[in-house]
Amino acid sequence: MKILWELFLIFARIGGLTFGGGYAMLPMLQKEIVENKSWATEEELMDYFAIGQCTPGIIAVNTATFVGYKVKGILGGIVATLGVIAPSIVIITIIAAFITNFMDIAAVTYAFAGIRVCVCVLIFNSVLKLWKNAVKDIPALVIFLAIFFLSLLTDVSTILFVVCSGAIGFAVKAISRRMQAKKEGGEAK
Amino acid sequence: MILLLLMWEFFKTGLFAIGGGLATLPFLYEMSVKTGWFTATDIANMIAISESTPGPLGINMATYVGYNTAGVAGAILAPIGEVLPSIIIILIIAKVLEKFKENQIVQDVFYGLRPASVGLIAAAGVEVVKVALLNTANWTGFTLASIMATVNWPCLGLAALLLVLTRLPKIKKAHPLYFILGSACVGIAFGYLGWS
């Protein structure tokens, strides 16, 4: 019971601090889930994000469900998801009920200009950390660069990118294993 | 009845919108035409509010529409309807993944997925940089004047400061929350100084 409550609270905190879309959640996840709680590894986070890209729904929500499931099964998945959406529900309900001109408040606009700068830097730091874990050889570097530029410069669906990278990863590994086997076979003779 | 209808409409959005917050937009426009619960202007306002509040756009939108259509109960049930399909699908995938985690094929596929995932995140980061550090409207070409007018210098300074701070021993261990709060204060100061 205690762990469920903890899951809810931590994901509510992450949900309440995710300014600027699903990816902005990454620095929080690294801090809370990987470093503080060890509920998942950096690799698992990347896997969740990749799967979240090609399944329906919001990436932040999908990641919460994954981590929750890993910690405490189906119930954990549901509780973590409710946690991550709870702050939005509360905040938006208050805005919808009381503040009709939220965006016209100068201080709010200014504060968010500052927050956006911070989100840039935090995402940059997160990418650096993940990069060290994910890009360890040449084929991985090629995949990283190709996906980075393609998704920046084209409108192709991210699902296609994810599916192709999975297939390429599989092919690269299969070929390198075969070459390895051949080499060892050659040496044995 | 309206509550069930709300949940159902957002359930469908949650089921078919693949690839993050903005993917829900076409579904929202369609829903607005079909049900008349909200207008295209409401959607535009909501995007602006979403950019200035925490939380995913899809959830914010569902809450906003739910509240305006059916009060607090709507504000709670519409986002739950929206996340229901992904909860079910992800739980199934998580269960399957747990079983096949050690499988060689699955591991090989993930070997390719991880750098792709980082590439996608990096590309999304570039979009944030564009909004946060540049006034792209001032861009007129590769001239010094155009570059000077396009870069938001105070914000770039703040970014440089944050880059250094997040690398200092001790400080770099701090929760991202403190950096966000600090940047909000600096942003307000910039605003009233007329620097933004």
- Is the pLDDT assigned to residue A21 strictly greater than 80? no
pLDDT at B92: 93
CB contact under 8 A, A88 and B56: yes
| CA dist., res. A28 & res. B55, Å (int) | 13
User: Within the 126-185 window of chain A, which residues sit less than 8 Å (CB to CB) from chain B?
Assistant: 126-127, 130-131, 133-135, 140-141, 143-148, 151-152, 157-159, 161-162, 165-170, 172-174
**Dist. CA B39–CA B32, nearest whole Å:** 6
Give helix B25-35 / helix B40-51 axis angle, nearest 10°: 140
pLDDT above 70 as % of chain B: 95
Question: Measuring CA to CA, which residue among A48, A92, A39 is closest to residue A66?
Answer: A48
The per-residue pLDDT for B18 is 65
Of A46, A74, A123, the CB nearest to B128: A123
- Domain residue ranges in chain B: 2-102, 137-193
Amino acid at B48: A
Residues B158-176 have a mean pLDDT of 88
- CB–CB of A110 and B89 under 8 A? no
Nearest-angstrom CA–CA distance, B148 and B139: 9
Length, in residues, of chain A: 189
* Residue B19 pLDDT greater than 60, yes or no: no
Mean pLDDT score, B149-168 = 91
Does A116 contact B58 at a Cβ distance shorter than 8 Å? no
Contact B80, B64 (CB under 8 A): no
Given a cut of 70, is residue A20 above it in pLDDT?
no
Query: Residue A56 is nearest to which of B17, B54, B185, comparing CB atoms?
Result: B17
Q: Taking all residues of chain A, what is their mean pLDDT, rounded to a whole number? A: 86
- Mean residue pLDDT of chain B comes to 85
CA distance A120 to B190: 18
Task: Establish how many alpha carbons lie within 13 A of residue A122's alpha carbon, considering only the half-sphere containing its beta carbon.
Answer: 30
Least CB–CB distance from A18: residue in B54, B183, B192: B54
In this predicted structure, the answer to whether residue A189 has a pLDDT above a threshold of 70 is no
Q: Taking 70 as the threshold, does the pLDDT of residue A64 lie above it?
A: yes
**3-class state of residue B151 by DSSP:** strand
Interface test with B, best of A11, A89, A172 (most B CBs within 10 A): A89
Q: pLDDT above 90 covers what percent of chain A? A: 34
Tell me the C-alpha distance between B50 and A57, whole Å. 17
Q: Residue A102 has what pLDDT?
A: 66
Chain B residue with CA closest to A15: the answer is B55
Contact (CB, 8 A) for A4 and A76:
yes
